[in-house]
Amino acid sequence: MFAFNLLLAASLLFSADARPATTSSLAGSSSVTRVTPLGIAVGVLDPDGAYRFPVKYGSAARWQPSTVATSWGLPTGASTAAGLPLTCPQNDADPSTFTEDCLSLILYVPPSFNVVTAAPTLVWIHGGSFIVGSATDPGLDGSKLALATNSIVAVIQYRLGTLGFMAPNNQTNLGLKDTVTALKFLRTVLPSFGGSPSKITLAGQSSGASAIRALLGTPSAASLFRSAILQSDTMDYGFLGTSTQATLVSSFAAELGCGSSSSCLNALPLYKILNAENDLINNAAGLDAAAGSVEPIRPVLDGTFLTSPLDSTAPFPSVSKPILVTTVLNEAGPAIYGASSLTANTLSADTFQLVCEGGFGDVRAAAILNSPFYVVSGTDARVQLQTLGTDQVWRCPSWTFSRAWVQNGGTAFVGQFVVGSTYPANAGLPFCAQAGVVCHQDDIMIVFGTAPNPTSAQATLITQMQAHYKAFLASGNPNAAGVPAWTAAGTSDVHPLVLGGSGEVAVAACTPTFWGVMPTYDYQVFNE
């Protein structure tokens, strides 16, 4: 499995979704207080105009479920309200920047809000392949987004990697359950900031969107939010099966060397856990092909917390929440053009064929190579490989998911970004710097309005997207006066809106009769 995605692995894990240097603090002054049921909340005026409140929303012992905070407290790493939280532990980060006591969030609140406002809240779940990232990643300052959408924006952190998803004591989905803890905390405190507990929309990008999809398949979380926005979800991978999860946990636990001793597990230094995590990521595909090489640490379909795969491998449940599902034009660009084996070389048509056959197997490769969608027409087949990766991992499974969502009672709006703002992780890739190219993560600073020195096209799209999001947060429908009409998806035609252009996206390979039928998705091939 995922031989094709080996071309994606290095970039998706350590470039496109990798965490650039975070910001330990932001300038802030003019402190403000709010009285909450959990105590006095102290915030500061963010440079971009909203009040910013950092807070610890929960706590958890190592490899145990988190519990909701019972008092308002500053995050670890923030000595005053002007400070920001340390991140959750993750590889390739300075240990001084992270802590296990990391269950924190940052609230961005418009100054005009008071306790009777009853505004909606956007809860952002960061990406990072479930192994890196934080609430302080570049571009995630929610001040401008809060002001533009007349909402509260909450950016949350959750346990990552093996600490969040590979517990040796067989606890499952701890990082995902942390997001539920954060939602419960927010429902308690939002009225104190002018927010309505019944008007919460989840939003996230990449693995953050995958986490939201998992929460959509978690019945116990259904009452905690009313709508969802999924940006660039890697839906092709699906969730881990229980036997794959058990295999990975067994290998990880063996390297830790503690057996079932809780005292030994609790005494392990973080560096040893992170080293074992890194080994697990590198070896996962060899341990069980269903894990894959790109995002082997991810939510598990455990049947108790996460109960539905929300794909074509099991009956799709009845649904009702409105969702907004987007991708970007060149999702696979960082992986294909950032891969060390391809950076300085073109890719011949013959090699393209070999890559397809090696990655998909003969049957799926034949369907791809005999289709009209990926015909090599130039001297460099990386063009077709990038399109293929974008279609397989992101665009087509997102459309398949959206059609299923509508078929089973929900409302979906689908779009594709053709204008973006280069994310710091993509800044060193010439491909992503080209005009007209929008790489994975390049939608983040458009949505948040944090694009540096935006061009006219970027500024226009920022205004449009924030107007769409404002309408969606308020009503579950992104249509608003003065912005392009967004047609809801149907059961066969998802009506994907061009975001940053005009009209609808050409269907191409994302027709209902190709991906998922002729060449199957990875979750179909490796479902357990």
Is 25 contained in some domain?
A: no
| Domain shared by 263 and 357, yes or no | no
Question: What is the tens place of the pLDDT at every residue in 411-438?
Answer: 999 999 999 999 999 999 999 999 999 9
Average pLDDT on 5-33 reads 51
| Domain shared by 190 and 256, yes or no | no
Average pLDDT on 158-176 reads 97
Q: Return d(Cα 62, Cα 64) in angstroms, integer.
A: 6
| Domain shared by 285 and 332, yes or no | no
| Domain shared by 55 and 195, yes or no | yes
Type of residue found at 297: I
Question: What is the tens place of the pLDDT at every residue in 264-274?
Answer: 999 999 999 99
Q: What is the DSSP secondary-structure string of 228-273?
A: EEEES--GGG-PBPHHHHHHHHHHHHHHHT-TT-HHHHHH--HHHH
Question: What is the tens place of the pLDDT at every residue in 20-56?
Answer: 444 444 555 689 999 999 999 999 999 999 999 999 9
Burial level of 61, CB count in 10 A (0-12/13-18/19+)? exposed
Alpha helices in 395-509 (DSSP H): 396-407, 430-433, 444-448, 456-475
| Domain shared by 280 and 155, yes or no | no
For the chain, how many structural domains are there in total?
Answer: 3
Percent of the chain with pLDDT over 90: 91
The answer to whether residue 203 scores a pLDDT higher than 90 is yes
CATH number of the domain to which 178 belongs:
3.40.50.1820
Question: What is the tens place of the pLDDT at every residue in 324-362?
Answer: 999 999 999 999 998 766 656 789 999 999 999 999 999
| Domain shared by 283 and 175, yes or no | no
| Domain shared by 392 and 510, yes or no | yes
Return the SS3 of 173.
coil
Average pLDDT on 65-85 reads 97
Listed residue (300, 489, 299, 298) closest to 398, CA to CA? 489
Q: Return d(Cα 161, Cα 166) in angstroms, integer.
A: 7
Q: Return d(Cα 160, Cα 175) in angstroms, integer.
A: 6
Of all helices (H) and strands (E), which one includes residue 177? helix 174-189
Cβ–Cβ < 8 Å for 196, 227: no
Backbone angles phi, psi at 18, to 5 degrees: -70, 155
Listed residue (204, 203, 206) closest to 234, CA to CA? 206
Is 371 contained in some domain?
A: yes
Segments forming the whole domain that contains residue 255: 242-291
Query: For residue 507, what are its two tokens?
Result: 């269907």
| Domain shared by 451 and 506, yes or no | yes
The answer to whether residue 10 scores a pLDDT higher than 50 is no
For the sheet with 51-56, list strands across it.
29-36, 39-45, 51-56, 104-109, 152-156, 119-125, 195-205, 227-231, 322-328, 411-417, 497-499
| Domain shared by 155 and 280, yes or no | no
Cβ–Cβ < 8 Å for 28, 82: yes
Average pLDDT score, the chain: 94
Is 214 contained in some domain?
A: no
CA 225 centroid distance within chain = 17
Backbone angles phi, psi at 147, to 5 degrees: -65, -40
Predicted local confidence at residue 374, as pLDDT: 98
Query: For residue 476, what are its two tokens?
Result: 């579950």
Phi-psi region of 161 (alpha: psi -120 to 50; beta: other; left: phi over 0): left
| Domain shared by 278 and 308, yes or no | no
Percent of the chain with pLDDT over 70: 93
Predicted local confidence at residue 15, as pLDDT: 39
Predicted local confidence at residue 61, as pLDDT: 98
Question: What is the tens place of the pLDDT at every residue in 110-152?
Answer: 999 999 999 999 999 999 999 999 999 999 999 999 999 999 9
CA atoms in the 13 A half-sphere facing the CB of 275: 9
Question: What is the tens place of the pLDDT at every residue in 378-415?
Answer: 999 999 999 999 999 999 999 999 999 999 999 999 99
Average pLDDT on 465-480 reads 98
Q: Give the largest CA-CA distance in the chain.
A: 67
Is 235 contained in some domain?
A: no
Q: Alpha-carbon Rg of the chain, whole angstroms?
A: 22
Phi-psi region of 436 (alpha: psi -120 to 50; beta: other; left: phi over 0): left
Question: What is the tens place of the pLDDT at every residue in 54-74?
Answer: 999 999 999 999 999 999 999
Is 210 contained in some domain?
A: no
Phi-psi region of 345 (alpha: psi -120 to 50; beta: other; left: phi over 0): beta
Domain boundary pick from 187, 205, 223: 205
| Domain shared by 445 and 314, yes or no | yes
Query: For residue 399, what are its two tokens?
Result: 């459309």
Is 267 contained in some domain?
A: yes
The answer to whether residue 6 scores a pLDDT higher than 80 is no
Question: What is the tens place of the pLDDT at every residue in 86-110?
Answer: 999 999 999 999 999 999 999 999 9
Predicted local confidence at residue 29, as pLDDT: 62
Listed residue (240, 212, 242, 13) closest to 130, CA to CA? 13
Residues in a beta bridge with 41: 34
Q: Return d(Cα 34, Cα 369) in angstroms, integer.
A: 61
Predicted local confidence at residue 30, as pLDDT: 81
**Confidence grade of residue 260 (pLDDT, cut at 50, 70, 90):** confident
Predicted local confidence at residue 527, as pLDDT: 73
Is 187 contained in some domain?
A: yes
Is 445 contained in some domain?
A: yes
| Domain shared by 277 and 314, yes or no | no
Query: Which residues are CB-contacts of 324 (< 8 A; sequence separation ≥ 6)?
Result: 227, 228, 229, 230, 412, 413, 415, 468, 472, 478
Q: Return d(Cα 295, Cα 203) in angstroms, integer.
A: 20
